[in-house]
Structure 1
Amino acid sequence: MHCLLSRGLACLALGLLGGPASAQAPGGWAIKATPQHLVLSGYWLEAEHARPGHPAQTLTLGPQLYWGPAGRPDVPADLNRPRYNEVVRGAGLQGQHRFYLSAPGASHSFATGFYLGYSPQVQFFRLHFGRNDQWHEEPGPGGLPYLVYGPLRYRETVLRYGVAAQAGYQLALASWALLDVYAGVGVRKSYSWSDFGESQFRSGPSDYAHQGVYFPAGFKLGVALP
C-alpha cells in the first residue's frame, strides 16, 4: 500500500512539473509563406514539422514557383542596354533542418523562439528577354513575314543550387498564427545557357543566375494546423 501511494505521488508531481511526455510533446504542422519573393515573381511556401523524437528540432520543405515579369530590385536600370519584356518561369525546392533553443511548450502546437538551421536548395529558371534593336522579320497575319524594327527575343535557362546557414526567431502572434524572422549567409553555384551568349541575369545577389556568397534575410508569415 505504501509503495502504491509513493508511486501515485511521484506521478502527480511529474505531471504538475510538466514532464517531457506532456509539456514537450512534438509540435504540429505549420504552413508559411515568404512575401518578399513576390518582387521576383516568386511564390514560396514552406511546411514545418517537428522531427520525430526530437521536439526541439524541426524539418521544413519549401516548394517555390516563379511566374511573371522578371524582377531585380538591387540592379539599377542600364540606360545603355534597356530591358524589354523580361519574363521568368521557374521552380525550386528548399529544405531546412532547424535547432530551437527550447522545445515547444504546451500553449502552442508549433516551435517558437530562437533557432539555428541549414538549408540546401535547388532552382530552375527559364527566362525570356529582348535585346539588340534592329530590323528583323516577324510573322504577321496569314503567316506572311513583316519587317519590323525592335528588340530580338532571346531565352536563357538557369540551374542553380546551394546551401545557407541561418539564425532566426519564430514568434507566436496567436494560438494559430506565427511570424518567422531570419538572416544568414550562404553560397550557391549556377549554370546558365543563353541564346544571347553571356548570361543576362548575373547583375546582383537577387538576380536569377547569381552565384557565389549571398545573405538571405527576410520574414515569413504562417498558420499552425491542428
Structure 2
Amino acid sequence: MPATRAGHHCQWLLLPALLLGIAGGAQGQSAPPTRTLLLKAVPQYVVVSGYWLEAEQSWKQHPNQSFAVTAQAYAGPAGNPNGNILIDNPFSPDQNRQVRGAGLQVHHRLYLDPAFSTDYPSGWYVSYGPQFQHFALSYDGLGWEEVEGPNGAPVYELRNGRHTETINRYGGSVQLGYQAPLPPGPVFLDLYVGFGWRESQSRGDSWKTSSRYSSGSSNYGHEGFYFPAGIKIGVALR
C-alpha cells in the first residue's frame, strides 16, 4: 500500500477514538430524549435523480449518541453534474443520459451539547462513517465497441448507439452539523458540512481508461477528496 494511502487509512482509524473521547466527557450531563427515532429526507440529490432517506436512532444508554442509516436510490435522467461529461466526439454529444443505482451510508453521530432543548436530539453534532454506492448509467452517442474482426480477433469500432457504464464507489466522511427544531411540533432541519475521501471503479462497453462521469465532486464517478454539505428535513416519530 503506498505511504500516502496508508496515511489516509490511519487517520480514519484514529478519528473515531478521538470523537468517542469527546462524547464521553459530555455524556454524564445529558437528559434522555423521549423521541428516539427520526426520519429525514435529503432533497438536494433530486437534481441528479437521487432519492435519499435517513433514519436516525438514538442510543438509549448514551443519549448524546445515535446511529444514522441513509438509504439511497437513483432513477431517472443523469443530468449534467459539474459541467460537461467527457465525450468521445465533440460533434456528437451524449444524449438521453439515464442513471439507475443504490447506495447506503452509516454514520455514528455525537451531539456536542448535552442539554436537549426538545424531546428529540438537537443541537451541534459530529458524525462519521462509511458509504457505498452502485450506479448503472446509459447514454446515446459515439463510443468504442469491441467487435469480432475478420480473423476472429477482437477489434474496436467507433459506433453511434446506446452505451453503458457501471460504477462502484466507496469511501467515508466526517461531518459537522446542527439539528434545529421548527416549532411547533416534531419537524426539524438538519444542516451539515464536512469532508471525505472515496474510491471509484468503473466499467463500460466503451473503450476508455477512465470514467465518463468523473468531471467533478458531484458526478457519479468522482473519486478523491470531497466536501459534503446540505440540508435535511426531518420529523421525530417516537
State the 1:131 CA deviation: 1.9
Which amino acid is 1:41 matched to?
S
Structure 2 distance, partners of 1:213, 1:22, is 34
Alignment counterpart, residue 132 of structure 1, candidates 134, 142, 146:
142
**Bigger Cα Rg:** 1
Q: CA deviation at 1:103?
A: 3.5
Counterparts of 1:132-211 in structure 2 under 5 Å?
Answer: 132=142, 151-174=160-183, 175-198=185-208, 199-211=211-223
State percent identity of aligned pairs.
44
**CA distance, structure 2, for counterparts of residue 97 and residue 84 of structure 1:** 40
- Specify whether residues 74 and 177 from structure 1 end up closer, same or farther in structure 2 by C-alpha distance, changes over 3 A only: same
Q: Does 1:55 align with 2:63?
A: yes
Q: 2:39 aligns with which of 27, 31, 34?
A: 31
How many Å separate the matches in 2 of 1:154 and 1:185?
33
CA distance in 2, matches of 1:25, 1:34: 23
TM-score, normalised on structure 1? 0.78
- Cα deviation per residue 1:33-59 (whole Å; 9 max; x = unaligned)? 100000010000000011130100110
> Are residue 66 (structure 1) and residue 74 (structure 2) matched?
yes
TM-superposed CA distance for 1:116, in Å, is: 0.7
Give 5+ residue unaligned stretches, structure 1: 1-19, 134-149
Q: How many residues align?
A: 190
Cα distance change on mapping 1:197 and 1:51 into 2, 3 Å: farther
Tell me the equivalent position of 1:113. 123
User: What is the alpha-carbon distance in structure 1 between the residues aligned to residue 173 and residue 194 of structure 2?
Assistant: 7
Residues in 2 aligned to 1:25 and 1:93: alpha-carbon distance in whole angstroms: 26
| Corresponding residue SS for 2:44 | helix
- Contact 1:98–1:115 at 8 Å: present in 2 too? yes
Report the Cα offset of residue 74 of structure 1.
1.9
Q: List, as ranges, runs of 4+ consecutive aligned residues in structure 1 with deviation greater than 6 Å.
A: none
Tell me the CA shift for residue 77 of structure 1. Answer: 6.8
**Structure-1 residue corresponding to 2:53:** 45
Separation in 2 of the partners of 1:160 and 1:22? 37
Query: What is the aligned partner in structure 1 of residue 107 from structure 2?
Result: 96
Q: How many angstroms does 1:101 deviate by?
A: 1.2
Change (3 A) 1:77 1:120: closer
How far 1:23 moved relative to its partner? 3.9
2:19 equivalent in structure 1: none
TM-score with structure 2 setting the length: 0.74
RMSD across aligned positions (CA): 2.2
